[in-house]
Amino acid sequence: MTLIENTDLFPHVNEYDVILVGTNTYCSLAQGFQRDIMLHYPHVQEENMKTRYGDKGKLGTICQVEGIPKFILCFICEGNFRPDLSSDYLDYDSLEKCLSLAKIITKGQKVATTLMGSSRFDGNGNKERILRLFERIFGDTEVDIYDYFQMSKDERKKAIRMKELEVKKSDRNAYYRMVAERKEREKKIKELNGHTRT
């Protein structure tokens, strides 16, 4: 098991046989790493939508999505509708069950995941407790765990825009090229997933 800090997993997805994705029971891959997968691998969201919406019975189960790479959706939280009452909404038992299942299924394969359950988008759980679970289950396994800050859709759009505006101050032609390239990327993403640009 290798912990890789401050590196976004998404650009490295195709380096692995299997990608584990922590998610909720509401068929939503809406933010952070989950959103990257939804945008660029629409077949994953198609399989996710076939599961029972909001069903607590999904907690602790997985959904295998064949392809290259293979994706395994891990249902580890319900969602947090009352962050004023509890900021940690990860179901630790469900995370443990999903990790145990994933270890059996992925034996002998090169596996990567985010530090599932620690992001505000998949449970906002206690990082040390989550790491102990990973170490106990995956400690002797070839799995790369990417621990980094995952941006929301709006945060990412703002960061891209700020970068463009910074370039605009010194090179308007480079700025126009950046904007044109962004729009072309967004067009291709929408053509790929059929419903959204970013």
Per residue in 8-24, pLDDT (tens digit) is: 999 999 999 999 999 99
Per the document, the length of the chain is 198
Cα–Cα distance measured from residue 156 to residue 135, given in angstroms and rounded to the nearest whole number? 31
Per residue in 94-109, pLDDT (tens digit) is: 999 999 999 999 999 9
Cα–Cα distance measured from residue 47 to residue 132, given in angstroms and rounded to the nearest whole number? 30
Residue 64 three-state SS: strand
pTM over 0.85: yes
- Say whether pLDDT at 85 is over 90: no
- Within 8 A by CB and 6+ apart from 37, the residues are 10, 13, 19, 21, 29, 44, 45, 71
Domain 2-150, CATH homologous superfamily name and number? Leucine Aminopeptidase, subunit E, domain 1 (3.40.220.10)
Cα–Cα distance measured from residue 78 to residue 97, given in angstroms and rounded to the nearest whole number? 15
* Per-residue pLDDT, 86: 75
Per residue in 120-163, pLDDT (tens digit) is: 999 999 999 999 999 999 988 889 999 999 999 999 999 999 99
Cα–Cα distance measured from residue 172 to residue 152, given in angstroms and rounded to the nearest whole number? 28
Task: Mark residue 67 as left, alpha or beta (left: phi above 0; alpha: psi -120 to 50; beta: remaining).
Answer: left
Quickly state the pLDDT bin for 197 (edges 50, 70, 90). confident
Closest CA to 94 of 107, 82, 106, 79: 79
pLDDT mean over 38-42? 96
* Per-residue pLDDT, 152: 95
